[in-house]
Every structure is written in structure tokens, then in C-alpha cells.
Structure 1
Amino acid sequence: MTSTWRRLTDRLNGKQEPEALYEELPDHLSVPLRQWSITVLRNYNLVGLVCLRLRLPSKVLNSQSPEGMLANYQDSRNPMIFIEIIDALLAGLADVSPFSSGRYNGVTVGDLRNELDRILLEGGSAYMINPEKNGLCRRVDETLRQSLEAAVQAADKQTQGASAHLREAFAAAYGINPNPSVAYSQSIKAVEAVANPIFLPKSPEPTLGAVRSNLDQGRKKYEMVVHDRSGAPAEINAVVELLNLLWHGQRDRHAGGPTSRPVTQEAAETAVHTAALLVHWIATGAIRKK
């Protein structure tokens, strides 16, 4: 949890470690989140949209108060259902015109997002509003999130492809239903999108593996903008090693091999942040020809 407030007993005992984050919908978050959803669900179009997207039973829309029933919806088979409803409502706020901008029942959509963000933060939820503000993702350290956004912005100045892949990678790694394989694949595509035009401009079939080989074999042709301890431009060894790590770590690229295995959540998260660093370095010219 990134909130700086600490309960009295923790302050008295000198406790410094952060609180554990709460998965699903803990009791203390239930009422604030359901009250927030009632405010948003005053727009009946959002009620129908959420029910359709989450394939909820027809009893919701057939009830005397669909918005009230949706705001209090529970499913014993799916303890994540209300988190999914909040996620779908955020997407709806971004999608449904005219509620994607301007004022909404006396408050702006930005106000609604800010209130939700406050509830999730102060309640120690494991989820936060994603960078696109159209859904939830798993809570990540603010420094890591800012580094990812810096990479996206740097990539946008060079090519839109890299930033789009990087956002997809983040969503797949930290979404409420993570997909590690997609996160890893999109991480590689993000680096390819920014690196291929620079390092393999004439290649008919450029890949990250080819970029890695090109830089590995041409280490003497490139340098870093940062200096080493002798005061000379540093060699690109760190870049090559990061490319090796990202390229060789995707163990589900091909099936049936002796080292093939599914991508783990931890590996996917590492790939996303490795890709963000590489995209930022390449897009900002941190790696240059001598």
C-alpha cells in the first residue's frame, strides 16, 4: 500500500514495512466500492453494458432496480465478480458517450475516477486504476509505473507501435486476469518495434533475436551515452545482456522442446520492465554508433 498513513499501534511500535494488500473484495472495502458503483450506475446504459460484457444473468436487468442489484451483485463461484464489475464500469465510463467527458450527474468522470482511486488506495486494495484509466490493474510500485510511462512517452516520439505493445504488455501482466504469455510476447514486440528500424533498417524479416546478434557481433561499433569509470563512453555490454535475458527467457515461444515451459507471472513482470528499460534507452538514443 502506498498511502503514508499508519494506524496508531503501528506508529507506536515503530512498524515500517507496508501493509499486505487485499485481494478480491474484503469486507471493509465492500460498502465504499458498492456506494461508488451506485453513483456510476445512475446511467442505465452502463448497467446494460456491464451485464452484457460480463455475461450476467437476465435477472439483473429484469429486476425492479437493475442498478441496485448490480451494485450489490455477488457470485459464490466467482469471488472476483465485483472487482470485475468495477473494472467494467471504468471501461464503460471511457466508452459510453457522452459520459466519457464533461459532467456526469453533477461530477466529472475525472472526479469519479479520483474517488475510486482514493477508496482503493486507502483500503489497501491489490488493484488500482490502470494507466489508460479504462479499467483496473494490479497495484504496482509508483516508481516502476512512472518508468513504464516514461518509456511509452519516449517511444511515442519515434513510433506508435512500441508504445502500444508496451501498454498491451503491462495490461496482460498486471490486469485483473493476467496473461503472462501475452505479456512476455508483447514485451518482445515492443522492443522489436523500436529497435528494428534503427539496427536492422534493411532486413526483410527483422526480429529481436537478429537485433541481439547484430549488437553482440558489433559491440565495437556502438557505445552508450553514459561514461564508464575511465571517463570514456561505456560499452553496450549491458544492452546485449538485457536483450539476451529477454530473448532467451521466452520459453513458450516454441512447443515440444526440452526447455519449453509456460511463462510464469514473475517472468512476465520482469519482461515488461526489462522491455520498458530497453525501449526507453533505444528511443532516447542512449545507444549510439561511434
Structure 2
Amino acid sequence: MTTPPWQPLSAREAELPVDRTIHEGVPEHLEPGLRSWIRDSVVTESLVHRVVAALKLNTDVHSFENGRLPSSARELSRVPTSLLLDVVDCLLYLDIGEVAHHSYLVKHPNATSPLAAVLSKPAKFVDPVDALDALLGDAASAYQVRETDDVSHAGLERVVDVTVAESAAMAMHRAESSGRDDASFYLRSSWTKAYALHPDASGAYVDAVRAVEDVAIPLYASAVPRATLGTVIRELDHNGAAYSMVMLDNNGGPAKVDTVLSLMKLLWHGHRDRHPGGQTSAPITPEAAQAAVHIAVLLVQLLSTSAVTRNP
């Protein structure tokens, strides 16, 4: 979650433009906060051991305090700077918020009782996940907290323009409401893989194509066994005149499906690692994967709302 950028008083009084710089990695102004967050939020030793195990930390590869693996929250907070974001991402994956809340309830068993809460007045529970998200936003980090859903655990993801993120969420919801649950699932999965701390570009591209296939094949290739997006493209290529857009063209008539077809072709032909070993085969870059996700979002939204219709 992002918050509007804040300006220091001196900058506001000088009427300076808002600084919208996004900071990659762990900038100097963020590092102390991240280390304090780890130290204060990790409330069980077992969580430290799980982070060490999940990240497969090794004293032969990384330098740790006293030359040994972290075994406490304090030691975990002092890992090399290069590991900080991985540690934070892993803690989110391991549901640090739930662990902290459980620990809070153990220490304050009457916290959920209204009467007991009034009489004993236990310290208010502070969700470490919310605290982290606020810290990242204050520091203008390139990363934010990814909320959990039915596809993935929480973790860090790259900051995306709010309007763009809301458009993607709308496409996912629209796909679900039109009965295309798989399209919604693959869109979410594609988004998660494309914008993760360590992106899975190839996996994101595959899921983007799958999301479009789930809405397009039933509309344009339902009778074809083992149909793919390529099958849909051939149908619209050969029989494009049989379809039209709900929008009007410059002559006032129904617009052709050329734009939708072009987007499908771009997505399909850009999937260059689909058949390894070919002359034009190439790895999918993170930037290409992100572009594929947004093309898929637009296509799923259009096809889920019947923006392309068959002519009478």
C-alpha cells in the first residue's frame, strides 16, 4: 500500500516540487529502520531458525556476527545489508504478523475480553506487517508489502502505480464474476511472479498467456480440442469480419477487432522462451514479463465484459 509523498516543511515553504524518487535496494535512510523492525518484530527464536533454513544461510558464503549463523532476533537484525530485503521478504512469507499476534495473546490472555481489557489495559497490539509497510512508504522504497491472497503468501513486491494496480484488481474481479475463475487465478499469479522481490519472469509470462486463454478460448475456439491462444488468433485472423467491438469507429460503425487481435499477437509472439532451442528463442526479461501482465489485464478485462461481440 502506498501513501502520498510527504515533503519536509522547508521544502513546502520553498515551494519545491514533490520528490518522487523511488529508492532501490536498501538505501542508507532505510537500513536502520529495517534492522530495528527485524529486532522488534521477531518474537520467537523458532522464527529465526526458520528464516535461516528457508534462506539456506551459510557461514561460508556470508559474514555473520561472531562468525556464526543468527540464533536470535538481535543477531538476525545484524545480517549483511545484501541480505536484509531477503530476510524481510522471508519473514512476511512466514506470516510474521500471525506469529506476533499469537505471542501477544499469550502474554495478554485477557486482551480479547472487553471488561478485562478495560481493567488491565494491556498494551495495544501493533501489527508488524503494517509497521513495515508504513516504513517502506516513508522511505520511498521501491518495494511494498504484498498482501496475502489465495495464490501466494505475503512478501515484498515492487511498488506499482495505484491506478494500474486497481485496474488489475478490477480485471481479476471481473473475470471471477463472469465465471472465469482460472483467468483471475492466473492473473494474480502472473502479477505476483512479475513484481516479486526476485521476479520469475518466465513463470509470469506463462500465467499471463494462460489468463487470456481462459477467457478467449471459450469465446472463439470452444470447439477446437487443445486450443491455445494461437488458435484464437487464427480464428480472429481468418474470420475477423464476423466480430466487432462495442465501441464505434470514426465512421460511426462498430469498430473492428484489429486492436484486440494485435494485442493477442504481441502477447503470443513475445513468448520467446516457449520453445527453447529455436533460432528466435530468448529468455523473458523482467520488463517483458511486466508488459505481458498488463496486456493480459487489458485483454481479460475486455473479453470478460463482452467488448468483442459476434456480429448478427
TM-score (norm 1): 0.85
What's the counterpart of residue 67 of structure 1?
Answer: 73
Aligned to 1:140: 160
Give me the whole-angstrom Cα distance separating, in 1, the residues matched to 2:276 and 2:282. Answer: 8
DSSP-derived class of the 2:95 partner: helix
Report the equivalent of 1:114.
130
Moved more, 198-207 or 38-47: 38-47
**Alignment match, 1:214:** 235
Two-structure CA RMSD over aligned residues (Å):
2.9
The one-letter amino acid of 1:149's match is: A
The aligned counterpart of 2:304 is 283
Secondary structure of the equivalent of 1:195? helix
Fraction of identical pairs, as percent? 35
Whole-angstrom CA distance in 2 between matches of 1:9 and 1:104? 46
SS in structure 1 opposite 2:234? helix
- Is 1:54 matched up with 2:55? yes
CA distance 1:15–1:245, shift in 2 (3 Å): farther
2:37 is matched with 36
Relative to 1, partners in 2 of residues 1:198 and 1:174: Cα closer, same or farther, differing over 3 Å? same
- Partners of 2:294 and 2:241 in 1: CA distance: 27
Matches within 5 A, 1:97-246: 99=101, 111-132=127-148, 134-157=154-177, 158-246=179-267
Distance in 1 separating the partners of 2:124 and 2:215: 40
Following TM superposition, by how much is the alpha carbon of 1:30 offset from its aligned partner in structure 2, in angstroms? 1.5
Give the C-alpha shift of residue 9 in structure 1: 5.9
3-state SS in 1 of match to 2:199 = coil
CA distance in 2, matches of 1:12, 1:51: 48
**Partner Cα distance (1:18, 1:67) in 2:** 34
Offset at residue 232 of structure 1 (A): 3.2
Alignment-mate amino acid for residue 218 of structure 2: P
Deviations, residues 163-206 of structure 1 (Å, cap 9, x unaligned): 22112211222111122222212211111122222222222111
Go from structure 1 to structure 2 and tell me whether the alpha carbon gap of 1:104 and 1:224 turns closer, same or farther (over 3 Å shift). farther
Q: In structure 1, the residue corresponding to 2:244 is in which secondary structure? A: strand
Inter-partner Cα distance in structure 2 for 1:49 and 1:228: 59
Q: 1:231 to 1:103 in 2, by over 3 A?
A: farther
Q: Is the 8 A contact 1:126 1:138 kept in 2?
A: yes
Structure 1 residue runs without a partner (length 5+) = none
Please report how far the alpha carbon of residue 89 of structure 1 lies from its aligned counterpart in structure 2 after TM superposition: 1.1
Are 1:6 and 2:7 matched, yes or no? Answer: yes
CA contact (8 A) 1:94 1:134 kept: no
Distance 2:296 2:281 in 1: 21
The separation in 1 between residues aligned to 2:293 and 2:39, in whole angstroms, is 35
Conserved in 2, the CA contact under 8 Å of 1:127 and 1:136? yes
- Distance, in Å, in 1 between the alignment partners of 2:222 and 2:286 is 33
Indicate the SS of the match to 2:309: strand
1:120 is displaced (CA, Å) by 0.5
CA shift for structure 1 position 235:
1.9
Larger Rg: 2
Counterpart-to-counterpart distance in 1, 2:134 and 2:25: 17
Do the aligned partners of residues 13 and 180 (structure 1) sit closer, same or farther apart at CA in structure 2, a change above 3 Å counting? farther
**TM-score, normalisation: structure 2:** 0.80
Indicate the residue corresponding to 2:92 in structure 1.
90
Q: Deviations over 1:50-91 (max 9, x none)?
A: 222111248445x4xx1211122226xxx1x11011111111
The one-letter code matched in structure 2 to 1:150 is M
The Cα of 1:96 is off from its aligned counterpart by 6.0
Structure 1 distance, partners of 2:251, 2:198, is: 48
